[in-house]
């Protein structure tokens, strides 16, 4: 069999995605590889397909038990013999698994990095033929990353102790140069084929919303998408509890997850979500690492996260199956305060000295700043993200909330010069709230206490609202005319550009949304029709029928529904209406093994629903919304 045939037979896909073929061919020619691809790009296929074609065993080092379980379930469902070895098994189970592995039962074995150090495992690995060692989530090897795992450093020693050096393949979704260099160097990859694919996730719609009431917005959103799977991320446990209660009060079935819950509770709630028993998960960022659930249709951030890295990783849990999905960030200025508090109180590695701690703090502040500007920018959100991850100028995407809004450009050069003057007059001692308060002539107790009414700048922009003055200041920060000190006071400071603004030599343009709130809602609804972009109402009903079949099968098998078939596969069934084996095998994601196991059940459901008639259950080109 060649790689393409393996892809079709076991995974049911017709063609490789961007980059997969190159990495697979490189591995099969005996070369090490490093694949840096975003979540959902299909990294697993890059090592699973060659693993089936190599003569020996492929060991996959993976940091999380849940991730391993998921992958092994999915492989078993596809008819591939795989196993995992980690601390969730008893010694006896491990012994049995290794015995079967020695007898050649498994082509792919997932192991936790800690396991590599044990005598028993090393003995096993020396006795069998290990063709490839795959390092999943390879960024865990880098001390620069946020997920550093010291046990990952042991992988190299392990490989050295094998009688023959296997091919080493490494995969991650973390793209920064430092992390990449670390992986290449620490893992000791030999002349590797390195592939960095585009970081764009085309099926994701990015939005930043600044609603008056986040709670109201959230409730509306979740209700409008009832039945769909979604994650709501909150910055703190307290917020998780609050949002969870809110949903409960409105009878929205939801689960919660944070470090304050017991292990059992967390496990149960996570499974309720993964097995589609509870559609909505409210959680802190503790939830998600190692969650492979492919049919998450939306990720809402109730609070702004602390960095773009976090945001893209968390938001990226939407739409792994490639179906249209939504990533909405609900921003309020208070979020910056929460984030700064969390950064300041973050647990640090006790081995770090003052110099290192300071460097980390500065890096955290810089990251927070970039995240904050994401919420404020009036430019294309996708472009902002991709530029941050080093993809250069990509141009506006027309598929994010900013690209969908209409903006008007206001020349605020005069107002900006007033801001510079005010900051100077205050001798750079205040942050954005006080400066905006002074300029707009606000009369709060705090300002009275500071005795700012005496200043020349007091009230010079009183024709503007305080919010608008803040927007101008934020715009000046993004243009690097102003910076803020990296402490909790965030005092505004002038940069060298400020003088030019003051003299009127550097114009300042503020982009503000043109459309009214009402209009925005209209556009949103139009663009947020998801499956219904493809399926007509009959198609959507059929989809629900098939979902029921999937749920029943998942229950029988004791696996999450998306492991049986992805949403994408079900949608494709609604489009193709497969009545025969051949037709069913033509549906994306239906491999031979899965056909034998489940194909008939779905085929029957399609036939029963359609009465055996091939009508149109989807919109034709011209008819789509
Ligand atoms: P990653 O590990 O990069 O986050 P996965 O390996 O989990 O991504 O793949 C994401 C989804 O894409 C899975 O549902 C997978 O089956 C699917 N997929 C991978 N490769 C292909 C392909 N060539 N054609 C269609 N679907 C694919």
Closest by CA to 28, choosing from 13, 37, 40, 16, is 16
Which atom of ligand 1 is least distant from the CA of 173?
3
Confidence of residue 526 (pLDDT cuts 50, 70, 90): very low
Read off the pLDDT of residues 67-78 as tens digits, 9 standing for 90 and up.
888 889 999 999
* 3, 22, 45, best to mutate for ligand 1 pocket (most atoms within 8 Å of CB): 45
Round to whole Å and give the CA distance between 355 and 519.
51
CB 272 within 8 A of CB 299: no
| Residues in contact with ligand 1 (CB, 6 Å cut-off) | 13, 16-17, 20, 37, 39-45, 292, 294, 320-321, 566
Backbone angles phi, psi at 170, to 5 degrees: -130, 145
CB 191 within 8 A of CB 31: yes
Q: How far is the CA of 589 from the centre of ligand 1 (A)?
A: 10
Which atom of ligand 1 is least distant from the CA of 588?
25
Please determine, for residue 529, whether its predicted confidence score (pLDDT) is greater than 70: no
Please give the pLDDT value at position 515. Answer: 56
Confidence of residue 544 (pLDDT cuts 50, 70, 90): very high
Round to whole Å and give the CA distance between 229 and 246.
18
CB 491 within 8 A of CB 429: yes
Which residue puts its alpha carbon closest to atom 18 of ligand 1? 42
What mean pLDDT, rounded, does the chain reach? 89
Please give the pLDDT value at position 341. Answer: 83
Which atom of ligand 1 is least distant from the CA of 74?
16
Please determine, for residue 525, whether its predicted confidence score (pLDDT) is greater than 60: no
- 180 class by beta-carbon count within 10 Å (0-12 exposed, 13-18 middle, 19+ buried): buried
Residue 179 in 3-state DSSP?
Answer: helix
Average of pLDDT values for 79-87?
93
Backbone angles phi, psi at 327, to 5 degrees: -125, 105
Round to whole Å and give the CA distance between 409 and 332.
23
Q: Which residues contact 450 (CB under 8 A, 6 or more apart)?
A: 430, 434
Q: Measured between alpha carbons, how far is residue 345 from residues 101, 342, 348, 489 in Å?
A: 46, 5, 9, 16
Round to whole Å and give the CA distance between 59 and 136.
10
* 12, 23, 38, 42, best to mutate for ligand 1 pocket (most atoms within 8 Å of CB): 42
Round to whole Å and give the CA distance between 443 and 33.
63
Round to whole Å and give the CA distance between 317 and 298.
8
Which residue puts its alpha carbon closest to atom 20 of ligand 1? 42
To the nearest 10°, report the CA torsion of 176, 178, 179, 180.
80
- pTM of the predicted model, to two decimals? 0.75
Q: How far is the CA of 271 from the centre of ligand 1 (A)?
A: 22
Angle at 424 between CA 419 and CA 426, to 5 degrees: 95
Helices and strands: H and E segment counts in the chain? 29, 17
Taking the chain, what is the end-to-end CA distance rounded to the nearest angstrom?
42
Which atom of ligand 1 is least distant from the CA of 41?
3
């Amino acid at each position: 069999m060649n790689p393409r045939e393996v892809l079709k037979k076991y995974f049911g896909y017709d063609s490789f995605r961007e980059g997969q073929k190159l990495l697979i061919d490189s591995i099969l020619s005996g070369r090490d590889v490093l694949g840096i691809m975003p979540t959902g790009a299909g990294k697993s296929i890059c090592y699973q397909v060659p693993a089936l074609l190599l003569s020996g065993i492929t060991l996959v080092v993976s940091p999380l038990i849940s991730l391993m379980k998921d992958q092994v379930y999915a492989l078993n469902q596809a008819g591939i013999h795989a196993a995992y070895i980690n601390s969730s098994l008893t010694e006896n189970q491990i012994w049995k698994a290794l015995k079967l592995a020695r007898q050649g039962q498994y082509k792919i074995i997932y192991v936790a990095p800690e396991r590599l150090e044990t005598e028993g495992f090393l003995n096993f690995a020396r006795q069998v033929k290990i063709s490839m060692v795959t390092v999943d989530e390879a960024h865990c090897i880098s001390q620069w990353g946020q997920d550093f795992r010291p046990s990952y450093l042991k992988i190299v020693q392990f490989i050295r102790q094998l009688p023959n050096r296997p091919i080493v393949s490494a995969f991650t979704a973390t793209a920064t140069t430092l992390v990449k260099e670390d992986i290449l160097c620490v893992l000791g990859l030999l002349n590797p084929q390195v592939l960095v694919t585009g970081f764009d996730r085309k099926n994701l719609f990015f939005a930043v919303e600044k609603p008056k009431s986040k709670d109201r917005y959230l409730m509306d959103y979740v209700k409008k998408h009832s039945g769909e799977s979604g994650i709501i991320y909150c910055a703190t446990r307290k917020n998780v509890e609050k949002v969870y209660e809110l949903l409960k009060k409105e009878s929205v079935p939801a689960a919660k997850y944070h470090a304050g819950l017991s292990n059992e509770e967390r496990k149960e709630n996570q499974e309720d979500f993964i097995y589609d028993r509870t559609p909505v998960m409210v959680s802190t960022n503790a939830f998600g690492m190692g969650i492979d659930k492919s049919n998450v249709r939306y990720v809402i951030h109730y609070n702004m996260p602390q960095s773009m890295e976090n945001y893209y990783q968390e938001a990226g849990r939407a739409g792994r199956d490639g179906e249209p999905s939504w990533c909405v960030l609900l921003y309020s200025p208070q979020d910056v305060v929460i984030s700064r508090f969390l950064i300041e109180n973050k647990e640090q590695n006790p081995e770090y000295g003052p110099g290192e701690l300071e460097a980390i703090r500065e890096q955290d502040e810089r990251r927070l700043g970039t995240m904050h500007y994401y919420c404020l920018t009036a430019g294309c959100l996708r472009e902002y993200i991709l530029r941050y991850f080093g993809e250069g100028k990509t141009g506006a995407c027309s598929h994010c909330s900013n690209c969908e809004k209409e903006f008007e450009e206001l020349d605020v050069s005069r107002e900006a010069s007033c801001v510079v003057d005010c900051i100077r007059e205050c001798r750079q001692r205040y942050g954005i709230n006080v400066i905006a308060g002074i300029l707009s002539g606000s009369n709060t107790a705090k300002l009275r206490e500071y005795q700012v009414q005496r200043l020349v700048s007091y009230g010079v922009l009183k024709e503007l609202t305080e919010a608008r003055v803040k927007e101008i200041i934020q715009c000046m920060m993004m243009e690097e005319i102003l910076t803020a000190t990296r402490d909790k006071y965030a005092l505004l400071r002038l940069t060298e550009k400020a003088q030019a603004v003051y003299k009127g030599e550097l114009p300042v343009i503020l982009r503000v949304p043109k459309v009214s709130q009402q209009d925005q809602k209209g556009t949103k609804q139009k663009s947020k029709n998801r499956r219904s972009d493809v399926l007509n109402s009959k198609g959507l009903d059929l989809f629900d029928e098939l979902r029921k079949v999937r749920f029943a099968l998942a229950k029988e098998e004791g696996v999450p529904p998306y492991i049986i078939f992805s949403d994408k596969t079900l949608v494709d069934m609604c489009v193709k209406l497969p009545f025969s084996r051949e037709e069913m095998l033509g549906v994306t994601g239906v491999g031979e093994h899965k056909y034998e196991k489940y194909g008939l059940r779905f085929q029957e459901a399609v036939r029963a629903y359609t009465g055996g008639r091939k009508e149109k259950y989807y919109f034709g080109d011209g008819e789509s919304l």
